[in-house]
Amino acid sequence: MILKICGITSQEDATAAMEGGATALGFNFYPRSPRYIAPDRAAEISTSSGVRRVGVFVDEPPEQVERIARIARLDVAQLHGHEQPPGYPAALAVWKAVRVTGDVDFTRYRTCPAEALLLDGPAAELYGGSGKSFDWRLAAGIGKLIVVAGGLDASNVAQAITLAHPWGVDACSRIESAPGKKDHQKMNAFLQAAKAALHA
């Protein structure tokens, strides 16, 4: 199970997340995001062995994604734009983000070569931390590994896991004190609630 904390901008928050049980950390490389972090700054944030380093990208050319991945030592590219499989970076795993609305059609993603689909709530032009959830029942039975994101915190992650049966869960804005600054108490509560739901 992937327990991901996204929007990491400091070593303090990264360390607290890993101590709470996070198995993946997200770094946002979309320049317009309030959680943007420069690739060289992300590279300075150390992570434990086995913790996946995930980069958030929006419509970046694959060569640019791979360049940033090398600098920031990424394991996964989380693609939030209009990227199609021929434009996926070849050097690392891909999680393709899908905005879930009532009329979303998942059939076109069943043959998608991405390792997983990251299902996020509707959020206009925001990428990586909108705080809006979706009907998690829509995520069940897609036929691919899924990571549920969008509006998760300690109060609802157990329900999301029960309804969606995901491979992973991802929290960001609802466990922050400000964009890019984690509230360690809320973050730890989310991680503990997610772990408890998995072992229920």
* Catalytic one of 120, 153, 170, 172: 120
Write phi, then psi, for 127 (nearest 5 degrees): -135, 120
Of the candidates 33, 28, 14, the residue with the CA atom closest to the CA atom of residue 123: 33
* Catalytic one of 6, 13, 153, 170: 6
Helix (H) or strand (E) holding 161: helix 157-164
CA 162, 165, 168, 172 dihedral sign is negative
Of the candidates 175, 182, 185, the residue with the CA atom closest to the CA atom of residue 12: 182
CA atoms within 13 A on the CB side of 125: 4
Judge whether 172 counts as a catalytic residue.
no
Judge whether 120 counts as a catalytic residue.
yes
Write phi, then psi, for 23 (nearest 5 degrees): -110, 0
Structure tokens at 168: 């992973």
Query: No. of H helices and E strands in the chain?
Result: 5, 10
As annotated, the active-site residues are 6, 120
